[in-house]
Copies of this chain bind each other. A is one copy, B any other.
Amino acid sequence: MSNDHLDQQIEFILEMDKLKSVFRRSYVSGTDRKENDAEHSWHVAIMALVLCDRANTKIDILRVLKMLLIHDIVEIDAGDTFFYDDKGAADKSERERTAANRLFGLLPKNQEKEFKNIWEEFEEGQTSEALFAKSLDRLMPLLHNFYSKGKAWKEHGIMQDQVLNKNKHIADGSKELWEFASSLINKAVENGYLAK
């Protein structure tokens, strides 16, 4: 890669700072502060390193890490769409595609293509790696919600059925983690963290 491209790469890296100002609905444990996309992406990558043996099939962990590290970058332009916001979900895909074009377009051509492919693989959720990465991306907010006694669920009036419906796909990446997640959801209802 020629030195010319270094400027483009540095510009992309600096642009990434903006992901630290895209806030999610979930809270950082033990604080009153909402989590941002950059910290979330790190946390879910750590989760992948720890839980990689729990996938339904043998997976390429490097590919899973790449997906999780870049999966939310498009939210720099498209914003965070709340997991339970079906209205926001309607044009999410178009907003995110436009964002992917601009953001990954900052990179040199070969890397633009590579990063877009990884992001698309995650979005399409067909490969074993994408299915597992998506399972973790779903499991993390469940954990945060449970251990903050349902703070974000209560704020947004989320009910047990919605949580079960949206999260049952965890099983597509890891049956073992879905077993754990569904028992966590039941416990959340028992403890009054989540409305029945």
Contacts and interface: CB of A to CB of B under 8 A. Distances in A.
B62 A45 contact: no
A66 interface: yes
Interface residues of A, number: 47
Interface stretch (A1-9, A83-91, A150-158): A1-9
The A interface, classified by DSSP as helix, strand, loop or mixed, is helix
B50 A29 contact: no
A40 to B, nearest CB: 9
Tell me how many chains of this kind the complex includes. 2
7 contacts: A6-B180, A10-B143, A17-B28, A38-B39, A45-B45, A45-B69, A61-B62
A17 B1 contact: no
Contacts of A41: 42
A29 to B, nearest CB: 4
B21 A28 contact: yes
Given A1-B53, A50-B12, A51-B9, A42 B17 contact: no
A47 B29 CA distance: 27
